[in-house]
Amino acid sequence: MNKEPRRLWCGSVFPGVAAVLVAAVLFVFGGGRGDAPPSEKLAAVSEAPSAATSPVTPSVDGILFDSPEEAARQALELLAAGDAESLSRLALSETDFREAVYPRLPASRPERNTSAEFLWGMLHQRSRHALAFTLDRHRGQRYELIAVDFVGETTDYGPFQVHRETVLTVSAPDGERGTLRIFGSMLEQEGRYKIFSFVTD
């Protein structure tokens, strides 16, 4: 077995979206640097709203996990089974995005003129494409989870935190240790975790 982990897959690559706001939101929540805008524009989009203007944020719904490792193991099991529908349900839903996440983004401010529908549509489309690519590469492969690391930044939005660029260290079917990126950011709320999307680039 190699001493250094090998990269089993470094993430999917899809054509970039022209809009700066879309690129920034995918950077913040998708899990990668990708087509990130200039740093000053990115900072303006990714900063959390001030406490004085923060709306009341409902809890995210659906499937949440007690740890990142629990979420990763479930995702790996469904990946081995090739269960795209169940994998999709692990990620943030449109309702979660509209009600919990979007109101916390500076992009939701009236002067930005950027709707939740627009941002969700772009994120959801890329997430579906990324998941399909991941399934094509790894369907039927049974990986054993060793560790979960967030190699990107963590942003505190008050009621929830976003941990970016999730990397799984796994034992491959041939016994060799490697790394996988099968989903991007993870959202943490009150000590529970949810996969944000399957965008990894």
What are the pLDDT digits (tens) for 125-152?
999 999 999 999 999 999 999 999 999 9
Give me the residue label for tokens 């489309």: 125
Note whether residue 53 is domain-resident: no
Question: What total of structural domains would you count in the chain?
Answer: 1
Note whether residue 73 is domain-resident: yes
Note whether residue 128 is domain-resident: yes
Q: Give the model confidence (pLDDT) of 19-70 as tens digits.
A: 344 444 544 455 544 333 333 333 333 444 443 344 566 667 678 999 999 9
Note whether residue 201 is domain-resident: no
Note whether residue 74 is domain-resident: yes
Cα gap 46→37, rounded to integer Å: 11
Residue 105 CA to its chain's centroid (Å) = 16
Least confident of 19-33, 67-81, 102-116, 118-132: 19-33
Note whether residue 1 is domain-resident: no
Domain that holds residue 132: 6-44+63-195
Reported pTM: 0.73
